């Protein structure tokens, strides 16, 4: 339990603080159409408000009240997964906390105003398309989701390759000989 609380207590506040501070900075430094180019213009910083889902996907004229309950439900499910995760599964713990922190950071924006989620990194020209504008919370969600998928894949591979069973609580149990 100590490992879980340490993971949660260090990563979650760090991501939330970084997300909130950078969004506040973006609101003041990039207001009025100001743009800052980093790395020779490769990474522009441009203020945008995303009222939709990932990558600017829109749902109706006021999606705020659609997304808030979905985010709350997702956070509940992530907490359940976190509680059930083995303390020794550091990849799963870190990935879940990253997604929880990012979702919470973007939830703050949706709750506090109707303008949408504050995004400011991008758009990044990939040569064949522009990568949408994003923020620190989005990075945490994306990295956490990829890491979580890897964690589930590794667990599935371990289950297939070893004569053990995974119990409901996520604990590994060695099969006993008859």
**pLDDT single digits (tens) 42-76:** 999 999 999 877 666 667 667 788 889 999 999 99
Q: Two tokens at 85?
A: 């995760």
Residue 137: which domain range? 2-164
**pLDDT single digits (tens) 130-151:** 999 999 999 999 999 999 999 9
Chain-wide mean pLDDT for the chain?
A: 90
**CA distance linking residue 44 with residue 82, whole number of Å:** 35
Largest CA distance in the chain: 73
pTM of the shown model: 0.86
**CA distance linking residue 162 with residue 51, whole number of Å:** 46
52 within some domain: yes
176 within some domain: no
169 within some domain: no
128 within some domain: yes
**CA distance linking residue 79 with residue 2, whole number of Å:** 16
89 within some domain: yes
Q: Are 101 and 83 in contact (CB under 8 A)?
A: no
Q: Which residues are catalytic?
A: 119, 138
175 within some domain: no
Q: Two tokens at 90?
A: 């550091």
170 within some domain: no
136 within some domain: yes
Give the chain's domain count: 1
**CA distance linking residue 121 with residue 38, whole number of Å:** 10
């Amino acid at each position: 339990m100590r490992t879980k609380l340490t993971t949660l207590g260090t990563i979650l506040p760090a991501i939330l603080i970084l997300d909130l501070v950078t969004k506040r900075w973006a609101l003041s430094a990039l207001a009025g159409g100001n743009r800052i180019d980093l790395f020779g213009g490769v990474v522009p910083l441009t203020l945008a408000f995303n009222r939709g889902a990932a990558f600017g996907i829109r749902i109706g004229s006021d999606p705020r009240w659609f997304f808030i309950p979905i985010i709350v439900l997702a956070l509940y499910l992530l907490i359940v997964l976190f509680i059930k995760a083995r303390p020794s599964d550091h990849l799963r713990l870190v990935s879940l906390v990253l997604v929880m922190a990012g979702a919470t950071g973007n939830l703050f924006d949706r709750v506090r105003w109707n303008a949408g989620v504050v995004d400011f990194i991008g758009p990044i020209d990939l040569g064949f398309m522009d990568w949408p504008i994003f923020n620190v919370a989005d990075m945490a969600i994306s990295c956490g989701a990829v890491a979580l998928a890897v964690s589930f894949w590794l667990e599935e591979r371990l289950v297939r390759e070893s004569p053990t069973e995974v119990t409901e609580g996520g604990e590994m149990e060695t099969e006993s000989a008859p």
